[in-house]
Structure 1
């Protein structure tokens, strides 16, 4: 089946073909015909199976070739990264149409987004907070929205956006066409659908005999020691056929530490986490997509927006908190029908979390094998060349360590030469001072050395022979000698 068979108009079929997209995925086959007819839809499919075009193509086609200026369609997403990704996909599909799409999300200046809205953008893709912010300032009107989409709705519930979504729905007309898409569909999402949708059809695009995890992803789980993880990661990154790799950490601090460690080991890594500003996050994502960086370290906030088809490996540096998070992390690989590998490290203290994930996803791995960087099965499981180490280049020795490793006499000769060069550390006054200390008796050196010793001797020289007590005079004489 082709997109033309589903009723998609030729200009969009041609636009998709320029990127090598010719055949629809199952979720697209099932949702596009219904969406073109205006049917409210709850679409559920695994991550990386084409949900964006499942709602995007009907949305753009229903607006027409030359829609009038003003917001006619609204797509709400939970994260900034996903906002950028969905916008890029919709821009591709609408590249042969007179349609303008604008991304509305926080972390960037208002001015550019407001200018695009005033210029008459017809499709808005945005995060709830910034959308409501602009709406409250009357810079964004949702009164004429004809199509509204919630993408990754389950994540919006996790992030506490339910009340914001309700406010956005309240600003649109009841007759709008509504579509809701997600990989997982918890109870609150179904309840939300009943409140704001009109007789929605729930579509699940999956094989009834298929497990919850994607069949084209190989899942490997290791019980690993925290101090050995980075070395294990370094060896996995040298596996045969490894392409782009996403590594997930639990915290922002762990992501920042790991990107520094991997770069020090000679790998080409970038990071995306909440401590970076929006420009830094977008720059890292762009470098990863363009192949300038082949390793992306991310926290879960970015998991929904990493849509890169050539990711071959996903590594969970720490076990996810629940099975839904695991599915979304692992779903960064094996996209668009390709194969992938998901490796998960389970700390001893997190075995209870893994037990729940294993049971919920029916993975059949109740006891992950204990694994170290030297374990033979690590090499065979992941096709790592024999003898590979977790480092591509040697760690440079700091200058202080190099100096300390040299023989004492050589260090002293170097200091003597540098002091005689006339620099700030080798003035003639300091050389004279060392000579005076060498010539004085040991006891006197003890009393006059240290901070302030030179100042005392200078005061003694300034005193006349008749000043002070006899003992001071005798001391001055000794100093003059």
Structure 2
């Protein structure tokens, strides 16, 4: 598909060509006509898929240069670095350094930003918190907003900024909405459901541009919260015939200690921590000692201040938490002669799914999704609090809550592990 098919202005088409864009990316070819037609859009695509360019081009196409003081476009982004990138992209594609655009940054002077807004701006790029703060000072006029754009929605949700997003959206009134995210999950819809127009389109681009890397077998469980992760881990580890030697990665030593205290143990040496935080907790200073001790079955490793770990001869590696940097995960993925039988099982909440996507992009393939076993307790904070207050159930059943996701009929089963080889074969069954 050529750039001309996007039906951009000749000026924008020429600028794109000069910048080396010879053909539109999939997200652009599927979104731009809908956006220019006025439809609300939720666009789900990985990093580097062209999401920013998509809404910058459509904004420039719709922008009518006037001297009106009130802004026409409000773009919400998670942090100052992202704001700078967006503003620069507008300058790059418009080739107009006098473009009436402003980035509202928490570290800047609010008085200066208010002064610039009073002078007149067409496009406002801001974090939700900063935009809300200036709006409450009656300095951000939302009465003329035509389009509200939420960029990196998954990161905005991760930082807990859903409330200011909803308040700003409601204050904008009847406008076009564009939502851009790397992942689609329930928390995203919880944030936007009250202000999206009914005929919105969900456009998902699931492209993997990197060459496939030869990795260990990768599987992922999608779980709602930390407590359910613990319930799932305990459920799996009950099968001692299969999970004879297990390494579990978490992010901090404090989490390692907390997790160790919540895992069942028949003897003191069964659950160990690498370099434990407290002197009276059982653990090892070297993973080789864990491998040599037949009584030790589970080793919990905190990523912080931990050097390279030799995972050879460890059949199962659990990624209980996902790191902030994908490189910390990728260090243990490559397949070689000593670890080729190792299986990696990842537990990911909605907030961790963006990191799952980044890892998949890096290795050029998807993790196989495993359905939660039916008899795993799914913790629901609201439901379980009511149970606790009313004392309707025994305290030992406090972790059983409402279902996280309704299971498809094909997933309504409990995995039955009968041996090491059988377990690995079962683990490799993809979600139907």
- If the length of structure 1 is used for normalisation, what is the TM-score? 0.47
- Where does residue 182 of structure 2 map in the other structure? 183
Q: CA deviation at 1:184?
A: 0.5
Provide the rounded CA distance (Å) in 2 between the counterparts of 1:224 and 1:190. 32
Provide the rounded CA distance (Å) in 1 between the counterparts of 2:141 and 2:347. 38
Provide the rounded CA distance (Å) in 1 between the counterparts of 2:359 and 2:37. 34
Q: CA deviation at 1:35?
A: 0.4
- Where does residue 173 of structure 2 map in the other structure? 173
Are residue 7 (structure 1) and residue 2 (structure 2) matched?
no
Show the 5 A alignment for 1:323-402. Answer: 324-327=353-356, 329-330=358-359, 358-360=367-369
Show the 5 A alignment for 1:252-331. Answer: 300=324, 314=327, 316=329, 322=348, 324-327=353-356, 329-330=358-359
Which is further off, 91-100 or 122-131?
91-100
Q: 1:189 to 1:326 in 2, by over 3 A?
A: closer
Give a deviation string over 1:287-320, Cα, whole Å, max 9, x none: xxxxxxxxxxxx84xx8xxxxxxxxx95548899
- Where does residue 213 of structure 2 map in the other structure? 218
Q: 1:68 to 1:161 in 2, by over 3 A?
A: same
- Where does residue 153 of structure 2 map in the other structure? 153
Which is further off, 138-147 or 114-123?
114-123
Show the 5 A alignment for 1:87-102. Answer: 87-96=87-96, 99-102=99-102
Provide the rounded CA distance (Å) in 2 between the counterparts of 1:43 and 1:25. 13
CA contact (8 A) 2:114 2:139 kept: yes
- Where does residue 138 of structure 2 map in the other structure? 138
Provide the rounded CA distance (Å) in 1 between the counterparts of 2:59 and 2:156. 21
CA contact (8 A) 1:73 1:148 kept: yes
Q: 1:195 to 1:20 in 2, by over 3 A?
A: same
Secondary structure of the corresponding residue to residue 14 of structure 1:
helix
Provide the rounded CA distance (Å) in 2 between the counterparts of 1:158 and 1:152. 10
Q: 1:321 to 1:16 in 2, by over 3 A?
A: farther
Provide the rounded CA distance (Å) in 2 between the counterparts of 1:77 and 1:18. 27
Q: CA deviation at 1:112?
A: 4.2
Q: 1:66 to 1:77 in 2, by over 3 A?
A: same
Q: Alpha carbon RMSD of aligned pairs, Å?
A: 3.9
Give a deviation string over 1:128-170, Cα, whole Å, max 9, x none: 1111111111221112110101112222222211111111112
Provide the rounded CA distance (Å) in 2 between the counterparts of 1:120 and 1:26. 35
Provide the rounded CA distance (Å) in 2 between the counterparts of 1:98 and 1:47. 29
| Structure 2 unaligned blocks of 5 or more | 218-246, 250-273, 276-301, 308-322, 333-345, 372-422, 425-432
Provide the rounded CA distance (Å) in 1 between the counterparts of 2:66 and 2:106. 29
- Where does residue 19 of structure 1 map in the other structure? 19
Give a deviation string over 1:189-219, Cα, whole Å, max 9, x none: 2344432111101111236xxxxx6554637
Provide the rounded CA distance (Å) in 1 between the counterparts of 2:114 and 2:95. 22
Q: 1:68 to 1:328 in 2, by over 3 A?
A: farther
Aligned length: 264
- Where does residue 120 of structure 1 map in the other structure? 120
Q: CA deviation at 1:361?
A: 8.9
Q: CA deviation at 1:329?
A: 4.2
| Structure 1 unaligned blocks of 5 or more | 208-212, 228-249, 262-298, 304-312, 335-339, 343-356, 368-481
Q: CA deviation at 1:325?
A: 3.7
Q: CA deviation at 1:327?
A: 3.5
Secondary structure of the corresponding residue to residue 196 of structure 1:
coil
Give a deviation string over 1:222-269, Cα, whole Å, max 9, x none: 989999xxxxxxxxxxxxxxxxxxxxxx99xx6xx89xx9xxxxxxxx
Q: CA deviation at 1:358?
A: 4.9
Q: CA deviation at 1:25?
A: 0.5
Provide the rounded CA distance (Å) in 1 between the counterparts of 2:214 and 2:167. 40
Q: 1:178 to 1:109 in 2, by over 3 A?
A: same
- Where does residue 81 of structure 2 map in the other structure? 81
Q: 1:129 to 1:217 in 2, by over 3 A?
A: farther
Provide the rounded CA distance (Å) in 2 between the counterparts of 1:321 and 1:74. 36
Secondary structure of the corresponding residue to residue 143 of structure 1:
coil
Q: 1:83 to 1:187 in 2, by over 3 A?
A: same
CA contact (8 A) 1:72 1:145 kept: yes
